[in-house]
């Protein structure tokens, strides 16, 4: 299911399943890159599934006082992040995110670094500097997925919507200590 729109199977009718998969990916990327304006357009052109997407974007944008306690990522997104993490990050940050060559990304290491900042700042830091041995290649989407995984390992709750691959939305989500 990585990167797919749930329920977005009804379009295109007789096209091969493989083509429909590609289309799904394009729609997802389009939505993520172009943001709310594009979503509005998609509601007109493809109907149901993107209507739900528009709803989640609107909720994310309205959640001015959101924090990581509010279920701001999905379990599926954290799983995508885990797959990336296992390939690119364990070498320095440890299989359990508890550090090694680099600081841990959980517990006191995490709270000390990020409490009071927003998820956007963590995502920017990753995109600009990580992985430290080959930085600058993570997409916004990948950095959001990795953040979802890091949040899950810090025991913040999963929810119904993904962390958006959009800096403006991520700036609305503050990192606070767990209750």
Binding site for ligand HEC (CB under 6 A): 88-89, 91-93, 101-103, 105, 109-110, 113, 122, 125-126, 129-133, 146
Of 57 and 119, the one with the shorter C-beta distance to ligand HEC is 119
Of 23 and 113, the one with the shorter C-beta distance to ligand HEC is 113
Of 123 and 164, the one with the shorter C-beta distance to ligand HEC is 123
Bridge partners for 174 per DSSP: 67, 118
**Least Å distance between CB 1 and ligand HEC?**
21
**Least Å distance between CB 171 and ligand HEC?**
17
Place of tokens 């913040």: 156
Of 126 and 151, the one with the shorter C-beta distance to ligand HEC is 126
- For the chain, percent helix, then strand, then coil, each to nearest 5? 55, 0, 40
Burial-class residue 155 by CB neighbours within 10 Å (0-12, 13-18, 19+): exposed
What are the backbone dihedrals phi and psi of residue 174, each rounded to the nearest 5 degrees, phi first?
-90, 145
Residue 177 CB coordination number (10 Å): 13
Q: How far is CA 47 from CA 3, 61, 74, in A?
A: 19, 21, 23
**Least Å distance between CB 60 and ligand HEC?**
21
What are the backbone dihedrals phi and psi of residue 67, each rounded to the nearest 5 degrees, phi first?
-135, 175
Of 62 and 115, the one with the shorter C-beta distance to ligand HEC is 115
Place of tokens 């709270």: 111
């Amino acid at each position: 299911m990585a990167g797919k729109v749930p329920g977005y199977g009804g379009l295109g009718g007789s096209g091969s399943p493989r083509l429909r998969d590609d289309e799904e990916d394009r729609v997802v990327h389009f939505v993520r890159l172009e943001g709310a304006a594009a979503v509005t357009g998609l509601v007109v052109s493809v109907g149901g599934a993107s209507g739900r997407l528009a709803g989640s974007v609107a909720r994310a944008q309205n959640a001015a006082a959101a924090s990581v306690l509010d279920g701001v990522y999905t379990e599926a997104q954290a799983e995508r992040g885990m797959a990336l993490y296992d390939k690119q990050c364990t070498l320095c940050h440890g299989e359990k995110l508890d550090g090694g060559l680099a600081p841990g990304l959980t517990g006191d290491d995490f709270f000390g670094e990020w409490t009071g900042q927003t998820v956007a700042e963590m995502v920017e830091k990753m995109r600009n500097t990580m992985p430290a041995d080959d930085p600058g290649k993570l997409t916004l989407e990948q950095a959001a997925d990795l953040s979802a995984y890091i949040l899950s390992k810090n025991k913040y709750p999963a929810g119904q919507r993904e962390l958006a691959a959009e800096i403006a939305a991520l700036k609305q989500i503050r990192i606070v200590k767990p209750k």
